[in-house]
Amino acid sequence: MAQSTNGQVRVGSLAELKEQGCKVMTGQHGPIAVFHHNDKVYAVDNRCPHLGFPLHRGTVQDGILSCHSHHARFDLASGCTLNLFADDVPVYPVEVRNGEVYLTPYREKIDEVDHWLGRLQEGMEQNISLVMAKAVIALLGENVDYREIVKRGILYGTRNRAAGWGPGLTILTAMANVCEHLPAEEQFLAIFRGLLHAARDTAGQPPRRDLQPLGKADLDAATLARWFRRSVEVRDSEGAERCLLTALSMELPPAEIVDMLLAAATDHFYLDGGHTVDFINKSLEALDLVGWEAAPQVLPTIVGQICRAGRAEESQAWRQPIDLVPVLHEAFEALPALMAQGRGKSWQPGGSFTETLLGDSPLEIVAALNTALREGATPAQLAQEVAYAAAMRICRFGTQNEFGDWIGVLHTFTYANALHQALQRGSSPELLRGIYHGAIRVYLDRFLNIPPARLPDRRGASASPASGPAVLEELLKEMDTRQQVDGAARLVGQYLSSGEPTGDLIRTLAQALLREDADFHTFQMLEAGIRQYAALKDTPRADHVFTAVARYLAAHAPTDRARQQTARIALRLHRGDALYEEEAA
């Protein structure tokens, strides 16, 4: 390539270019297509920013370059795209001197972070998965912290869905939590998946409109909490939202806001199959990422869900053949006294505690919880015990059950995990009711363990000579085949008994999830499992949590893995790989 002193290269004569229409040159960043059109010359990156199709094979008409692959169109002069699913194509300076065409084969550095943050926003607004994937890869490549990207997604999602907090924001927050356990190069998929779901939830939805707080004269925290709960009771979301906004504008401590939300969410039983408490907890975790100052934007998005939620006491299962509602109400009346008796004591669960929770007597379950409180159990401890019992339901879930029943045991586990996390922020006696709700839900799931699936045989597993990495590889292969529930559990047991680092197992389980077109519940399962494993770490019970995760993931794999394909394409485009044979040649 002949290069002049000012860095330009000669393309050829104007007459030649006019005759050819287009000529491909080698640039510093890849091939460049130089066009002659309407007596002017133009130069653009020859790789279509959508999927890399060679643009010299496109058509130019009336100043617009059309890619022949998916028909994205670009203003030939500026490179700006008319179709947002593509990106703008980079342009290069080109000039004609004395009948010769000269190209500057490199481009000025642009503010990449600014550009890709803009593209991320557009990708979410237009719900275009490839644009989001490319933006996340580029931003991480520019060393933008993943939390900053998640923050953008959370603020976008809370602003643009009138229906409020939903599964998408829950997935995004959960995947941000999972990122803590992933090396930097593996965080992309988790964040991409979260943003994708958050954007999908807002697609076609009206945005949220802010309500205003009440005037603050003579209002105190107790009054606001009471009004909030009364508003929720009658499903008045406007009233409840204004009470919450008022409490936030008074800058009450976060623990009081948590108490207010969770007290209302436990005034009735097991709201919305456990989702309500889960969403509240996730909105609080989202605030850990974006900062409490965003609470007036984030927390009102969960009020509608709290007000609309189905109340389990209205369902047959909680009423027949035993009416569980009066049993629990009687226990709730005693909670302040039980907590007072337990103050200053410390409690450890005995060996039979879990078996009682997994047993078939609701009265014994309630009595065991009461006794534990009297003996000094903390709310967080009890919630963790319920979460462990719920994980055991998944470990022992019989695969001959209806496939849809997986979701029943999943709901109980993720609800109990959410409560466990939330109770580390606030723990008034009212919130304890949520633990009893969870424990009764574990009881109601008991038929899904008949007959119980066998737990993996650890002794047999440890006798295997396979190395840890080989086991993890086999685990991924196992999940390439449908319904390898017990095989996946066996391999997890085998890995755990090898004494290899659990961090690698977490990464493998995350890979197993993130390569699938997983549904909302599967994302929840992995994240809750990692949380509960961390809480139980270094106890023999911790392994059971990963057994539960592996069984659930295996039951829901494989899927079409279409999103993984999008992610791969975005990665290859980012690396500058040739996606088309011709260009590679």
Task: Classify residue 291 as exposed, middle or buried by CB count within 10 Å of its CB (0-12, 13-18, 19+).
Answer: exposed
Closer residue to ligand FES in complex, CB, 67/117: 67
Contact between 474 and 491 under an 8 Å Cβ cutoff? The reply is yes
Interface residue with ligand FES, options 22, 72, 182, 392 (CB under 6 A): 72
> Six-digit token pair at 541?
């019970």
Contact between 190 and 147 under an 8 Å Cβ cutoff? The reply is no
Contact between 496 and 471 under an 8 Å Cβ cutoff? The reply is no
- The span from the CA of 242 to the CA of 448, in Å, is 42
Closer residue to ligand FES in complex, CB, 87/278: 87
Report in angstroms how near the CB of residue 88 gets to ligand FES at its nearest: 13
Report in angstroms how near the CB of residue 58 gets to ligand FES at its nearest: 8
Report in angstroms how near the CB of residue 562 gets to ligand FES at its nearest: 16
242 near ligand FES, judged by CB under 6 A:
no
Which range of residues in 62-70, 310-318, 405-413, 459-467 is near ligand FES by CB under 6 A? 62-70
69 near ligand FES, judged by CB under 6 A:
yes
- The span from the CA of 65 to the CA of 77, in Å, is 9
**Residue numbers 302-321 binding ligand FES by CB under 6 A:** none
Coil, strand or helix at 254: helix
Interface residue with ligand FES, options 42, 53, 415, 546 (CB under 6 A): 53
- The span from the CA of 326 to the CA of 577, in Å, is 66
Q: Residue with structure tokens 């000269």?
A: 102
Which range of residues in 63-71, 118-126, 199-207, 299-307 is near ligand FES by CB under 6 A? 63-71
Closer residue to ligand FES in complex, CB, 70/329: 70
Report in angstroms how near the CB of residue 568 gets to ligand FES at its nearest: 15
Alpha-carbon distances of 396 from 358, 401, 536, rounded to whole Å: 11, 11, 19
Report in angstroms how near the CB of residue 544 gets to ligand FES at its nearest: 48
Report in angstroms how near the CB of residue 134 gets to ligand FES at its nearest: 13
Closer residue to ligand FES in complex, CB, 56/437: 56
CA atoms within 13 Å, Cβ hemisphere of 312: 27
50 near ligand FES, judged by CB under 6 A:
yes
Partners of residue 42 on adjacent β-strands: 35
Task: Classify residue 218 as exposed, middle or buried by CB count within 10 Å of its CB (0-12, 13-18, 19+).
Answer: exposed
Interface residue with ligand FES, options 29, 70, 329, 537 (CB under 6 A): 70
Q: Residue with structure tokens 């806001």?
A: 257
Closer residue to ligand FES in complex, CB, 72/461: 72
- The span from the CA of 408 to the CA of 369, in Å, is 22
Report in angstroms how near the CB of residue 186 gets to ligand FES at its nearest: 27
Taking the CA atoms of 530, 386, 431 and 211 in sequence, report the sign of the dihedral they define. Answer: positive
Report in angstroms how near the CB of residue 46 gets to ligand FES at its nearest: 11
Contact between 377 and 347 under an 8 Å Cβ cutoff? The reply is yes
Report in angstroms how near the CB of residue 275 gets to ligand FES at its nearest: 38
67 near ligand FES, judged by CB under 6 A:
yes
Interface residue with ligand FES, options 22, 60, 65, 86 (CB under 6 A): 86
Total residues interacting with ligand FES, rule: CB under 6 A: 9
Closer residue to ligand FES in complex, CB, 86/448: 86
515 near ligand FES, judged by CB under 6 A:
no
Which range of residues in 67-75, 229-237, 244-252, 439-447 is near ligand FES by CB under 6 A? 67-75
**Residue numbers 10-49 binding ligand FES by CB under 6 A:** 48
Closer residue to ligand FES in complex, CB, 67/182: 67
If DSSP states are collapsed to H, E and C, what string results for 87-138?
Answer: CCCCECCEEEECCEEEECCCCCCCCHHHHHHHHHHHHHHHCCHHHHHHHHHH
Report in angstroms how near the CB of residue 30 gets to ligand FES at its nearest: 14
Closer residue to ligand FES in complex, CB, 50/275: 50
> Six-digit token pair at 46?
């020859």
Report in angstroms how near the CB of residue 53 gets to ligand FES at its nearest: 4
If DSSP states are collapsed to H, E and C, what string results for 341-389?
Answer: HHCCCCCCCCHHHHHHHCCCCHHHHHHHHHHHHHCCCCHHHHHHHHHHH
> Six-digit token pair at 90?
């980079």
Residues in contact with ligand FES by CB under 6 A are 48, 50-51, 53, 67, 69-70, 72, 86
